[in-house]
Amino acid sequence: MNFADPFVLARLQFAANISFHILFPTISIGLCWVLLYFRTRYTLTGDKNWEYAYYFWVKMFALTFAIGVVSGITMSFQFGTNWPGFMAQAGNVAGPLLGYEVLTAFFLEASFLGVMLFGKHRVSNRMHLTAAALVAIGTTASAFWILSLNSWMQTPAGFEIRDGIFHAQDWWEVIFNPSFPYRLAHMLVACLLTVAFLLMGVSSWRFLDKVDSPATIMVFKTGLALAVVLAPLQVFIGDLHGLNTFEHQPAKVAAIEAVWETEKGAPFTLFALPDEETRTNRFAIEIPKLASVILTHDAEGQIRGLNEFEGRHPPVAPVFFAFRVMVGVGMLMIAMAWWLGWSIFIRKQHPNVIQLRICSWMTFSGWVAVLAGWYVTEIGRQPWLVYNVLSVESAVAEHGGGTVLSTLILWLLLYAFILFYYISTMRHLAKKRLLSILASIQQYPKLESDTLDTHSGDANARDPSNKETK
Amino acid sequence: MEFWLPLVFAAVMGLALLLYVVLDGYDLGVGLLLPFAADDEKGQMISSIGPFWDANETWIVLGVGVLLIAFPQAHGIILTSLYLPATLMLMGLVLRGIAFDFRVKAGDDQKAMWNGIFSFGSLLTALCQGWMLGSYITGLEPSLYNLLFSLLAAISLPVLYVMLGATWLMCRTALPLASKARRWARRGWLPLGFALLVISIATPLVSENISARWFALPQFFWLLPVPLLTVCCYGWVGLVLYGKVKCRSLLLFLTLAAICVLAALGLAYSVYPDIIIGRLTITEAAASTESLRFTLWGVLITLPLILGYTVFVYRIFSGKVPEHSSYE
């Protein structure tokens, strides 16, 4: 890699921005459904602890959402500032998908988040619940459209090219392109799984700092229940997704498995150093036939090797290692979820200090897996921007290397700064006792002509914490 | 190509950017005014924009989104030319957005830092947006005069935002902050007039295309109401601020919004039928008809809904923010 090359720099810049951005939607997409669950439980049972859980986590949500929004705006501009060729050539297809994301999702999330955060005294519980549901639907709709576009870039369908410009022929085929259902399912489950470990991690900080309340264990168990079910489910979905990739993007799978020569009964490589110079693997530790079994469900199945795609396949080592990181974290999640599930749900124990420590370390493990997974699929797409149709190189903007390098450095500094304060603010909030959290709920005061408290569903009137929050 | 489709999208883009300038304009303005407030007033100022700023900011995403969807060629050219101001503006938006949340959630010892970052981000955003507007009006051609014009635009837009922010605070906060906001608005009045005047004089000087459009007869008389009404609105704002006439603060805010609308109409008149002045017309830059038609359905269904629930949310959080804000 030549770091003075504006093309490399433009890619690094976009990769840095999108890597940073994805961290936050990953949490907000999953967390808003959890918030809706907390709010619903509170509405159904009247148990204040669910409401406390809601108000604690809605703060985390607001923080996460805000960073997701502002880093997302960056993305919408960088399509133009860094990759004008992409929009000039594929804009007819990509544009409407992004447009629908803005129209159906962004405004909905942003508008009703205000109600979730500030509406305590201004709207009835039913409206509050509706707002939470609309935000959840909004974030998921946003995932729907952007993953549809990403999947279309991986497995383009429903278009034709006239005079070098893409034209959509069948929108249904564009949106529901071959890899989209798998990618959407894989990502949505990844979001929930990330949030599951976040809930457990932050709750364990509260236990370890001895600022826990009855709500803490309820949150912990919510996260654990999600993890117990979703961690193994993710392996299953991931397998389906892999089979889909094997069918449509064989070069990517060859890089994942570091298979150089086309072979039948290919082994699964646990570890190796793939070497593109000699086109071999060094220090390989292999399990015979396993790759063929996984990908073709047949011990003698054929896997097409990288040499069939010479010059048109992605860099092997990053894809190979990123995949192993993703799977490794996934396995760790399963092990942890089942161990904890067994001791907490079956043996009815309280999590012990060792378990809490491990949960604390795994707070952001979802981020590691998500990033690794995206590197597999996005680096695995190279050298194509739209798979087999449009190369990345043909879409880059012509900026001087100096301009791009200086803005890249600024972005990286900014991102490091934000990440540092994001995590330390989470720590800060997690160390607060329940009362001081309730005292800092953001809210607008009641209107003078307010009659909301007479609504049957609204519990604010009998809320003992009301006095402290004023 | 059906000629009206690109026009509809140009109108939607214009509307989105206009709404952005008015709506995010007032909350950026509040950010710009924050350093001039006493510490105990800062929370009040921030909570007056709390439920709204996220959605306000989304209008620029729609504006740029429509540029991308409907005019992909222009999107590439414009954003590539504006790489530096766009990047700096984004950094400003990022800083402002995160500061907004961190200032209440991080420890009290950090509050002053986040207040500073909030204002800095707002200023950076406003300056860069002015810069971008200036470069756009001068046809994205870098020359000395064009750069000077962009510089002029860069310092003018924050003035407008300050006025919007100050009048917003007059509507949304109680005394004594509201009267302080009135003083801020009064201080911004002359600079705003100066900015409007100088920009209006400089625009036809830097752009031959625009001067040709402005001073051709008889179209000149069609355009004439725009500057005349702007002068009326501007004068009205001055009369109210200096206490010669009394009117509700909301009307004052709306009068400033009307100045934005007039400026947008003037700009649209100056640019039409181009999307990049002197280089590319709306029709030339338009995406394919099938893409525009597919997106039009979405716009027709969702835009009224969006406007509807935006009004709904503003109604939920109507009225004045109390003096001792519970937001802190």
CB contact (8 A) between residue A112 and residue B52:
no
End-to-end, the C-alpha distance of chain A in Å comes to 58
Chain mean pLDDT for chain A = 86
For residue A449, what pLDDT band results from cuts at 50, 70 and 90? Answer: very low
Are the C-beta atoms of A115 and B313 separated by less than 8 Å? Answer: yes
Amino acid at A18: I
Q: Compare all CA atoms of chain A with the CA of B48 and give the residue at the minimum distance.
A: A444
* Nearest residue of chain B to residue A397 (CA atoms): B80
- Separation between Cα atoms, residue B37 and residue B114, nearest integer Å: 15
Q: Is the peptide bond before A383 cis (omega within 30 degrees of 0)?
A: yes
Determine the distance from the C-alpha atom of residue A234 to the mean position of all C-alpha atoms in its chain, rounded to a whole number.
Answer: 13
Interatomic CA distance for residues B252 and B174, integer angstroms: 16
CA distance B286 to B269: 19
Give the burial class of B271: count Cβ atoms within 10 A of its Cβ; 0-12 exposed, 13-18 middle, 19 or more buried: buried
Would you state the structure tokens that stand for residue A146, as one six-digit string? 């952007």
Residue A142, pLDDT score = 93
pLDDT per residue as tens digits for the range A89-126: 888 898 899 889 999 999 999 899 989 888 888 888 88
Q: State the DSSP string of A312-352.
A: SS--HHHHHHHHHHHHHHHHHHHHHHHHHHIIIIIS-PPP-
- Asked if residue B328 belongs to a domain, the reply is no
Q: 3-state SS of chain A: helix, strand, coil percent to 5?
A: 70, 5, 20
Tokens for A465, please give them.
């914490």
B-chain CB neighbours of A171 within 8 Å are: 294
Q: Report yes or no on B322 lying in a domain.
A: no
Nearest to B90 among A74, A85, A445 (CB): A74
- Residue B323 belongs to some domain of the structure: no
B50 part of a folded domain:
yes
Q: Quick check: is B257 in a domain? A: yes
Cβ contacts (< 8 Å) between B70 and chain A: which residues?
A: 95
pLDDT of A357 reads: 94
| A329 vs B248, higher pLDDT | A329
Q: Is residue B325 in some structural domain?
A: no
Report the gap between the CA of B120 and the closest CA in chain A (Å). 14
pLDDT at A314 over 60: yes
Residue A454 is predicted with a pLDDT of: 34
Q: Are A69 and B98 a contacting pair, CB within 8 Å?
A: no
Identify whether the C-beta of residue B66 lies closer than 8 Å to the C-beta of residue B19: no
| pLDDT the model gives residue B159 | 94
- CA dist., res. A130 & res. A182, Å (int): 29
Lookup result for tokens 């961690």: A231
Measured CA to CA, the distance from residue B261 to residue A412 in angstroms comes to 38
Does position A470 have pLDDT exceeding 70, yes or no?
Answer: no
CA separation for the pair B162, B263 (Å, rounded): 17
Q: Is residue B245 part of a domain?
A: yes
| CB pair distance less than 8 Å for B306 and A107 | yes
Q: Is B58 on the interface with A (CB under 8 A)?
A: yes
Is the pLDDT at B73 greater than 80, yes or no?
yes
> Chain B: residue nearest A106 by CA?
B58
Q: Name residues 84-103 of chain B within 8 A of A (Cβ).
A: 84, 86-87, 90-91, 93-98, 100-102
Question: Is A111 close to B287, i.e. CB distance below 8 A?
Answer: no
Angstroms from B326 CA to nearest CA on chain A: 6
Query: Is B262 an 8 Å CB contact of chain A?
Result: no
* Contact check, Cβ <8 Å, B98/A77: no
- A30-66: per-residue pLDDT in tens? 999 999 999 999 999 988 899 889 988 998 999 999 8
B105 Cβ under 8 Å from any chain A Cβ: yes
Q: Is 60 exceeded by the pLDDT of residue A467?
A: no
What band does B36 get if pLDDT is binned at 50, 70 and 90?
Answer: very high
Residue A437: pLDDT over 80? no
Residue A260 contacts by C-beta under 8 Å, 6 or more apart in sequence?
Answer: A254, A279, A280, A281, A305, A306, A307
**Which of A71, A110, A470 has the CB atom closest to B58's CB atom?**
A110
For residue B70, give how far its alpha carbon lies from the nearest alpha carbon of chain A (Å). Answer: 8
Instruction: Provide the percentage of residues in chain B whose pLDDT is more than 90.
Output: 41
- Give me B6's structure tokens: 């690109």
B77-135: per-residue pLDDT in tens? 888 888 889 989 999 999 998 998 888 887 778 888 999 999 999 999 999 999 999 99
C-alpha atoms less than 13 angstroms from C-alpha of B48 in its C-beta half-sphere:
33
Question: What gap in Å lies between CA A167 and CA A160, rounded to an integer?
Answer: 5
Whether residue B117 is contained in a domain is answered as yes
Give, as one character, the DSSP assignment of residue A261: S
Instruction: Look at residue A12 and tell me whether its pLDDT is greater than 80.
Output: yes
Overall domain count for chain B: 1
**Residue B15 contacts A where some CB pair is shorter than 8 Å:** no
* Residues 6 or more apart whose Cβ sits within 8 Å of residue A71: A17, A20, A21, A24, B94
Classified as helix, coil or strand, A420 is helix
For A382-416, the DSSP string reads TTEEETTTEEGGGG-----HHHHHHHHHHHHHHHH
What the block records as the tokens of B105 is 């959630």
pLDDT tens, position by position, A233-244: 999 999 999 999
Cβ-Cβ contacts under 8 Å, A100 against chain B: 295, 298
Size of chain B in residues: 328
* Domain ranges, residue B236: 4-316
Number of H helices, E strands in chain A: 16, 8
- The residue of B1, B13, B48, B101 whose CB has the most chain A CBs within 10 angstroms, and thus the best one to mutate to test that interface, is B101
Give the distance from CA A447 to its chain's centroid.
39
* Mutant choice from A64, A102, A126, A406 vs B, greatest count of B C-beta within 10 A: A102
For B57, which of A69, A87, A115 is closest by C-beta distance?
A: A69
Give the whole-angstrom CA distance, residue A325 versus residue A315.
17
Q: State whether A108 and B309 contact (CB < 8 Å).
A: yes
- Identify the closest residue of chain A to B298 by CA–CA distance: A100
Which two tokens mark A257? 């498995």
Q: Which residue of B has its CA nearest to A75?
A: B90
| pLDDT attached to residue A441 | 67
Q: What is the mean pLDDT of residues A184-211?
A: 94
| Per-residue confidence (pLDDT) for residue A455, from 0 to 100 | 35
**Packed helices A365-379 and A250-257: angle between N→C axes, nearest 10 degrees:** 130
Which ipTM did the prediction report? 0.87
| pLDDT at position A29 over 70 | yes
Query: Domain holding B93: CATH number?
Result: 1.20.1630
First and final C-alpha spacing in chain B: 55
Residue type, B240: V
pLDDT at A462 over 70: no
